[in-house]
Structure 1
Amino acid sequence: MEEHKKNIIFASSNEVSISPRKIRLVVNLVKNKEIQEALDILKYSKKHQISLILRKLLLSALSNWNKIYKNILEKDSNLYIGKIVVNQGKTLKRLRPVPQGRGNRIRKRSSKILVVLEKR
């Protein structure tokens, strides 16, 4: 079990101001892909803001890998995205005025993203 834990590196991003449902659309494209392939998919994705956040997160996880395994090159290590988890973060609640003196609630959702890299 300890040897398996050594091969796992992660990076996380909290309070991303995009709803989890929208982020999961892009995350499903890159699940279980190798790092370079996932970065290429995100580079040409039409969801620019989401793909930019996920791209930064993948590069951060790759940097974390290189800090621990300094002498192993990323090409030789066969890294792939083991798991990406998108959970709901805090929800900001706002009011929008509607007729007859009432107010409707607007929910501005945020997300928490966790990327886990593993070695094949």
Structure 2
Amino acid sequence: MKAFLNNYRQSPRKVRLVADLVRGRPVSVVELALRVLPKRAALPIRKLISSAAANAKASGSKGELFIKEIYIDEGKVLKRRRPVSRGRAHLIKKRTSRISVILETRT
């Protein structure tokens, strides 16, 4: 079963650190691990995995759920300007992430 989160306001590089920890593991173990992980991206990834698990149960999947794929893509980039000396401006890129989770059952 699949679940997606678009335009999450954190850079993909930081979110990938959490995604690498949970890839290929059982959902029951991952939810406990993300509950105590001190990363900001842990909460939205935990909610997304539980949403995908609920989707799987609603469609009638039996057996233990594992994270088959989780990948983080770049979303939209918000561009802001910061004034600096001599009347110039530097560009600040506020990056967003697109998180995709795919679960499968193993018997």
Structure 1 length as normaliser, TM-score? 0.86
Unpaired runs of 5+ in structure 1?
Answer: 1-8
Q: Structure 2: 5+ residue runs without aligned partners?
A: none
Matched with 1:50 is: 41
RMSD between aligned alpha carbons?
Answer: 1.0
Aligned-partner Cα distance in 2 for 1:28–1:39: 14
1:64 aligns with 2:55: yes
Which structure has the greater CA radius of gyration? 1
Matches within 5 A, 1:1-120: 9-47=1-39, 49-69=40-60, 72=62, 77-120=63-106
Secondary structure at 1:58's aligned position in 2? helix
> 3-state DSSP class of the match of 1:100?
helix
For 2:75 and 2:97, the matched residues in 1 are separated by: 5
**Identity percentage of aligned residues:** 40
Aligned positions, number: 106
What SS class does the counterpart of residue 115 from structure 1 fall into? strand
SS of 1:65's equivalent in the other structure is helix
| Deviation readout 1:14-70 (Å, 9 max, x if unpaired) | 0000000000011111110000111111011011x3111001000100110011007
